[in-house]
Structure 1
Amino acid sequence: MLHLAKKTPPGGPVSPEAAVMVSALNAKLTHHGAWDVLNTAFDTIPDLALVSSFGAESVVLLHLAAMIKRDVPVIFIDTEMLFTETLVYQQDVAERLRLSNVQIIRADDADARDPSRSLHRRNPDACCALRKIAPLRRALDGHSGWITGRKRYQSGTRQALEFFEAEAGTGRIKVNPLARWSRDDIAEYMAENRLPRHPLVAQGYPSIGCAPCTSPVAAGEDPRAGRWRDQNKDECGIHFVDGKLVRAGQET
């Protein structure tokens, strides 16, 4: 069982204990797949949570996790600016997979700090920080690690993504079981297991975030082209590199 050092403030260094553990786990599982990564993570990291957007590809990771540990805490951040289709899909998937510990998290002060719900137009980074990053940080308090659905093919900032990462400044371990999966792997798994697709995918949304900041993608465009279109932004800020927000063009 992993025993992590006391957490340091966000933006601080990676803890030596977490760095050593991550290195050992990545070396041990370098030739293994998502199932082994998840099983090892649940056996090794205490108080592990899964963070899901219930977006276009989320059901794959949720299905894998449900087969191993159906009561894993699943943290879903409701920014209160999501598509109605996402909220309905979240309930449907949770029921179908019989996930017994879905935690719906919202910002405590969004109405006071963004009463006109227009912050995303003036400062999208600040909107993400208010409605997504801060609530997630609170939700992850007490957890030694969290599982993400990130994959290498999703953007240039994720091309070197490993199965395990030491999160800077928190002492937590991030687990990326699908890091090496391709888009075809995702589609094949969903078809073989008859998993429900997010309804917006059929309407041209291969990557789905908040409604005001997500647009349909045309044929031939990058699947994430509809996220924060025409802005120098391709990450909400939940995932950091050395405590810094990953921006478009930066590499991990």
Structure 2
Amino acid sequence: MASILTYENWDEQKIAEISGKSRDYFDILKWAYQEYDGEEIVYACSFGAEGMVLIDLIHKVSKQAKIIFLDTGLHFAETYELIHQVKDRYPSLNITMIEPKLTLLEQAKEHGEELWRHNPNLCCQIRKVAPLKEALQGVKAWISGLRREQSAIRSKTQYINKDEKFQNIKICPLIHWTWDDILTYIDLNKLPYNPLHDNGYPSIGCAPCTQPVSDSGDQRAGRWAGQSKTECGLHLT
């Protein structure tokens, strides 16, 4: 019996066979949950529009799938309300809130008030990157909602990626989806979604670091606006 795909036994030929031209997002998801059992794969969800699509698709493939949310303590109230709606709609899914080791008060005492303003990279490291790294311990693969259209950094993302940061397999089923594809799926399937998307927020992160954007074409322009930072660090090697 062939061994499952892991970071340690990354196989380019196997990747090419799995993600060939005839494969689509649903093929990749079905492969993922056949390749890895329930404890070996997790979906790290931000509960943005892409997240709602992936939750619905994953639920069609694996009713008890494990989903984690990096709860920084700084998210919009609308995001937390949406999570409650999702739990009610998909009660069989295993949705877990992952919190940082430092509370916001402890972080302020150690690094100063409003760390996200004067050192956003460190804030993201403490509240997102480190918690995800811990959550992925013992996990062979994780799923992400990255789309190539989102930014230049994400434009080369493959269906199946060797994740050097967390040293496991990162699976991105929606790489070819456009923003219109995402919204159409949500509309056709009557999915709940964050109402901030209707108010100029195509990309939603922590409240202090996310602003509405104009029709600039840059879907992540509202994240860390006015700074050179464009990523929280989860997807940077």
Same fold (TM over 0.5): yes
Amino acid at match of 2:183: A
Partners of 2:83 and 2:161 in 1: how far apart? Answer: 27
Q: What is the CA distance between 1:84 and its match in structure 2?
A: 0.7
Structure 2 equivalent of residue 113 of structure 1: 107
**CA deviation profile, 1:182-237 (whole Å, cap 9, x unmatched):** 12211221111111121111121111000000001113352211000011111100
Counterpart for residue 227 of structure 1: 223
More RCO (CA 8 Å, sep 6+): 1
Alpha-carbon distance, 1:162 to partner: 0.6
- Aligned residue type for 2:15: L
Question: SS state of the match for residue 132, structure 1?
Answer: helix
Q: How many angstroms apart in 1 are the aligned matches of 2:4 and 2:113?
A: 42
Report the CA distance between 1:168 and its aligned residue.
1.3
| Seq. identity, % | 36
Q: CA contact under 8 A between 2:42 and 2:68: conserved in structure 1?
A: yes
Query: Mean alpha-carbon deviation: is it higher for 86-95 or for 110-119?
Result: 110-119
CA contact (8 A) 2:78 2:196 kept: yes
Aligned position for 2:19: 29
Determine if the alignment matches structure 1 residue 100 to structure 2 residue 93. yes
2:180 counterpart (181, 184, 187): 184
Q: CA separation in 2, counterparts of 1:95 and 1:203?
A: 25
> Which string of whole-angstrom CA distances, capped at 9 and with x for unpartnered residues, describes residues 87-128 of structure 1?
111111222133431110101123323246500011000000
Change beyond 3 A, Cα 1:23–1:99 = farther
2:19, 2:160 within 8 Å by CA — same for their partners in 1? no
- The one-letter code of the counterpart of 2:25 is A
The CA RMSD measured in Å over matched residues stands at: 1.7
1:41 and 2:32 equivalent?
A: yes
Residue 160 of structure 1: how far off its partner (Å): 1.4
TM-score, normalised relative to structure 2: 0.90
Q: Which runs of 5+ in 1 are unaligned?
A: 5-13, 245-252
TM-score under structure 1 length normalisation: 0.85
In structure 1, what is the equivalent of residue 136 of structure 2?
Answer: 140
SS at match of 1:157: coil
| Distance (Å, rounded) in 2 between the aligned partners of 1:166 and 1:99 | 30
Q: How many residues align?
A: 229
User: What is the deviation of 1:28?
Assistant: 2.9
The answer for unaligned runs of 5 or more in structure 2 is: none
Residues 26 and 162 in structure 1, CA contact (< 8 A), matched pair in contact too: no
Which of 208, 211, 226 lines up with 1:212 in the alignment?
A: 208
